[in-house]
Structure 1
Amino acid sequence: MAESTTTTRQHPLEGWEKPDLDLSRADWQSGTRNQGDVQIAFVEGFIAMRNGGRPESPSLIFTPAEWRAFVLGARDGEFDLT
């Protein structure tokens, strides 16, 4: 997948315990053969997730433990609408 030319910087918020990651050179990957809207990148020990249809929008940043909880919840149907 092509790298974004836009520098995406996260701004610290009160209680924010994650680093200010530079995602401009992140290797974004799609889980659905590059056709899905959700993309992830592994950066400096964290997992970043963004909307591939709007790559300029803010990215979510997960610790490995948060990512594991998210993935397990998704597999268990925690986020299903029905």
Structure 2
Amino acid sequence: MAYTRTRQIWLARGALAMGIGIRSMHFIETLSFSLSTPRGYDLAVTGYSLLIAVLVSWFALYIVTRKDLGMVRLLVRGC
């Protein structure tokens, strides 16, 4: 399926916003979790998890914005 440049930009922006939102929610969640042992955060691992969240968000948005989605395809890919 051929996407126009504008559509690709919107898809990338949506994936970035959604991925940052997902990662932020999980980061705040881990900060609020109280442990009796000291903990630290590695910048590289945090960056990789942000990248993964953005890529998975892009894939999800790519699937649901296709013109030929259909109910069967949506149900199969949703399971």
TM interval, short-chain normalised: under 0.3
TM-score, scaled relative to structure 1: 0.27
Larger Cα-atom Rg: 2
Which has the larger share of strand? 1
Which has the larger share of helix? 2
TM-score, scaled relative to structure 2: 0.28
